[in-house]
Amino acid sequence: MYIDNIFFSNFKNFELKNIKTDKINIIHGKNASGKTNTIEGIYTILNGHSFKSKNTPLQKDITKKTVLSATINNTQNIYVEIYKGKKNLKLNTKRATALSFKKNFPSILYSIDSFISFKDKKYLFSLFDRNIFIDNTKIANMLIEYKKLIRIKKEAIYSINKDLEFIKFIHEKVLNLMRSISTERVKSVEIINSIINKTLNNFTDKQLYIEYKPYDYGQKNILKEELLKKRLITSLNKDKINILLNNKDIFTYASIGEKKIVLLSLILSIVLRYNEKIKPILLIDDLEGDLDEDSKNISFKIIKELPNQLFLTTLGEYLYNDANIIRL
Ligand SMILES: Nc1ncnc2c1ncn2[C@@H]1O[C@H](COP(=O)(O)OP(=O)(O)OP(=O)(O)O)[C@@H](O)[C@H]1O
Ligand SMILES: [Mg+2]
């Protein structure tokens, strides 16, 4: 899958911007020239929303219309419009949802924002859940159902006239869904464990192992406790996950550069899994920071040899003279 003819108007620091693309695209510019904004714009086109928090404004001038658009494989047209606080998504001139964008045009992001989220279990689970979706879309529906039931359960627990039979029924349904999702996550982690060291060992001799253990709700009477405390204590985010490098937890022991290399290897392992089905577009921002010359060169060599289309930001274009350079 290839994205071509990217167009931004009234987006962040760009008044109007046309970008011609190739397979390998290097976004080059000084600090504050718009490199991260360009990655954010492409991400927004492919996902129907930004990777930054909702209150980070995408519009340059909020009184005017913002348009982000692109063609895919020279045939499909994606269009994102933001105007008067409303977002309008179109695929080939027909209204579309963010979910349909994501399904049709997968992309994978590596950025400072991903690095900051790295120690957040929610982010890690989302990576493993994406790995599950590649083989099995059932889990996506299970996660949607789980979120819906959690909302219903909360309302039922907070309500003054509690319907205990109904609460029990929902509670059992939620627990069953959690068990199914966790079982899939166990398999997903096993797959990543079996391939991640192949990428990581380009950088280091150390071995990585991801430990995942679903939280055990079997022992206690959880529902009783939830009713007593009037809040939910069941959550998929309570599952245990540890990332061990030579048997040591990376968030306690690893250096910043090591953590960056582990995250990159994890993301690239998921890319390799995707590539068996559909090749996602790689969006890589600020990879160079905290990496030594060797790690920088190795990471670029690995990424360049992948069949995926790549957008990579850099402060020093000298490394990449055979690529399409987008100068800002
Ligand atoms: N909504 C907005 N409207 C106008 N300008 C914006 C908006 N949001 C951000 N900017 C500006 O865009 C500029 C470029 O930001 P960006 O993060 O893309 O820079 P960068 O090239 O990635 O820099 P660095 O090398 O420091 O990472 C910044 O000066 C920022 O203030
Ligand atoms: Mg930046």
Query: With bands split at pLDDT 50, 70 and 90, how would you rate the model's confidence at 132?
Result: confident
* Model pLDDT, residue 291: 95
What pLDDT score does 121 carry? 93
Long-range CB pairs of 199-202, under 8 A, 24+ apart, other chains included: 199/264, 199/265, 199/268, 199/269, 199/272, 199/302, 200/261, 200/262, 200/265, 202/298, 202/302
User: Are 234 and 86 part of one and the same domain?
Assistant: no
Same domain, 131 and 219: yes
The domain tally of the chain equals: 2
Answer whether residue 32 is part of any domain: yes
Task: For residue 9, give its domain range.
Answer: 1-106+279-328
Give residue 161's pLDDT.
86
pLDDT at 267: 97
Phi-psi domain of 251 (left: phi exceeds 0; alpha: psi -120 through 50; beta: other)? alpha
The span from the CA of 13 to the CA of 61, in Å, is: 10
Q: What is the pLDDT of residues 152-182, one digit of tens each?
A: 999 999 888 888 999 999 999 999 999 999 9
Asked whether 204 and 261 are in contact (CB, 8 A), the reply is yes
Residues 32 and 143 in one domain: no
- Which of 121-130, 210-219, 246-255, 293-302 has the least mean pLDDT? 210-219
179 and 255 share one domain: yes
Asked whether residue 114 is domain-assigned, the answer is no
Whether 132 and 262 map to the same domain: the answer is yes
Segment among 81-90, 213-222, 247-256, 270-279 with least mean pLDDT? 213-222
Count of CA atoms in the C-beta half-sphere (13 A) of 213: 7
Smallest CA-to-CA distance from 192 within 254, 244, 128, 133 is with: 128
Ligand 1 atom 18: residue of nearest CA: 34
Residue 137 binned pLDDT confidence (cut-offs 50, 70, 90): confident
Ligand 1 site, residue 206, Cβ cutoff 6 A: no
Cα–Cα distance between 212 and 239 in angstroms, integer? 7
pLDDT in tens, 52-84: 988 899 999 999 999 999 999 999 999 999 999
Q: Is the CB of 111 under 6 A from ligand 1?
A: no
Say which CATH number the domain at 170 has. Answer: 1.20.1050.90
Are 178 and 204 in the same domain?
yes
Of the ranges 68-72, 134-138, 285-289, 293-297, which one carries the lowest mean pLDDT score? 134-138
Q: What is the pLDDT of residues 193-245, one digit of tens each?
A: 999 999 999 999 999 999 999 988 776 688 999 998 888 888 888 899 999 99
In a mutational test of the pocket of ligand 1, which residue from 12, 52, 60 has the highest number of ligand atoms less than 8 Å from its CB? Answer: 12
Q: Is 52's C-beta closer than 6 angstroms to any atom of ligand 1?
A: no
pLDDT at 321 over 80: no
Provide the whole-model pTM.
0.93
Same domain for 124 and 271, yes or no, is yes
Measure the CA–CA gap between 152 and 171, rounded to whole angstroms.
10
pLDDT at 135: 80
CA of residue 309 to ligand 2 center, whole Å: 20
Residues 128 and 270 in one domain: yes
Amino acid, res. 119 = K
The verdict on 271 and 293 lying in the same domain is no
Tell me the β-bridge partners of 109.
Answer: 283
Q: Cβ neighbours of residue 36 under 8 Å, at least 6 residues apart?
A: 111, 285, 286, 313
Residue 71 is given by DSSP the state E
Residue 106 burial (C-beta neighbours within 10 Å; 0-12, 13-18, 19+): buried
Looking at the structure, do residues 266 and 162 belong to the same domain, yes or no? yes
How close is the Cα of 102 to the center of ligand 2, in Å?
A: 24
For 6-46, what is each residue's pLDDT tens digit? 999 999 999 999 999 999 999 999 999 999 999 999 999 99
On whether both 125 and 237 belong to a single domain, the answer is yes
**One domain for residues 87 and 213:** no
Residues 6 or more apart from 156 whose CB is under 8 A from it? 162, 163, 166, 167, 170
Strand partners, 28: 314, 327
Kindly list the distances between the CA atom of residue 204 and the CA atoms of 193, 257, 265, 284, in Å, as whole numbers in the listed order: 16, 11, 11, 21
**pLDDT, position 219:** 66
In this structure, which residue's CA is closest to atom 24 in ligand 1? 31
Please state, rounded to an integer, the average pLDDT across all residues of the chain: 93
- What is the sign, positive or negative, of the torsion defined by CA atoms of 272, 274, 277, 278? negative
Residue 37, CA distances (Å) to 52, 69, 260 in order: 11, 14, 21
34 in ligand 1 pocket by Cβ < 6 Å? yes
Tokens 């790295």 map to which residue? 118
Instruction: Give the separation between CA 272 and CA 209, rounded to whole angstroms.
Output: 18
